[in-house]
Chains A and B, each alone.
Chain A
Amino acid sequence: EPEVTQTPSHQVTQMGQEVILHCVPISNHLYFYWYRQILGQKVEFLVSFYNNEISEKSEIFDDQFSVERPDGSNFTLKIRSTKLEDSAMYFCASRRDSKEAFFGQGTRLTVV
């Protein structure tokens, strides 16, 4: 069964450093997403990406964040100058059409 793959599973970074989280969405999917989940809290929408551009973003997704689909298969989330409060699980998701989104297993980001 096709699945969304995220790497790394756990990333530890120093405050102020840049991190890039990687995702490989399901191959025939057209919509791509990043979500964030702070420990014990709900899953929060960050950004959606369609047709090679951001289609929607939340107020969380400020200039510190960027997304890219560099080669037609990968979908990355870059966080510049990480802050302690960026520590969370980051989930990538993809969907083919107006149906359910499929989620990856997440990357646990720890900012120290």
Chain B
Amino acid sequence: GESVGLHLPTLSVQEGDNSIINCAYSNSASDYFIWYKQESGKGPQFIIDIRSNMDKRQGQRVTVLLNKTVKHLSLQIAATQPGDSAVYFCAENIRTSYDKVIFGPGTSLSVIP
């Protein structure tokens, strides 16, 4: 079946350091992956996405890496700031259905000032 999971449920980093949040997925039919950020009391907010024909994509201070061989996804945040404190979810779309986005369990990122 489909499942998306995270290696680390919580992560604490010093302000200014880089953060790496990891995610494993099991469905080889997944071809589109998204990272969402959820701040307390708010809905998930899109950060960055990547399609399965790519292995790296960069945004502003964020980079997503995709390793299809081991079905692993990571989100790198450069120069982590207090405003980055949130729960981060990876999510996947499977190739045969853009009707459903499956979320992983989430990693809580805490930035220490």
Give the interface of A toward B (CB within 8 A): 4, 31, 33, 35, 41-45, 48, 50, 55-56, 91, 93, 95, 97-106
Give the interface of B toward A (CB within 8 A): 32, 34, 36, 38, 41-46, 49, 89, 91, 93, 97-106
Majority secondary structure of chain B interface residues (helix, strand, loop or mixed): strand
A1 to B35, CA, bound (A): 20
Taking a contact as CB atoms under 8 Å apart, the answer to whether B101 and A105 are in contact is no
Give 6 A-B pairs besides A56-B100, A98-B93 with Cβ atoms closer than 8 angstroms.
A43-B89, A43-B91, A55-B99, A99-B49, A103-B43, A105-B42
Q: Say yes or no: A100-B46 contact (C-beta < 8 A), given A42-B89, A42-B106, A43-B89.
A: yes
Q: Say yes or no: A42-B104 contact (C-beta < 8 A), given A104-B43, A106-B43.
A: yes
Chain A minimum-CB-distance residue to B45: A103
Give every chain A residue within 8 A of B49 (Cβ-Cβ): 99-100
Give every chain B residue within 8 A of A48 (Cβ-Cβ): 99-100
Taking a contact as CB atoms under 8 Å apart, the answer to whether A98 and B45 are in contact is no
A100 to B102, CA, bound (A): 12
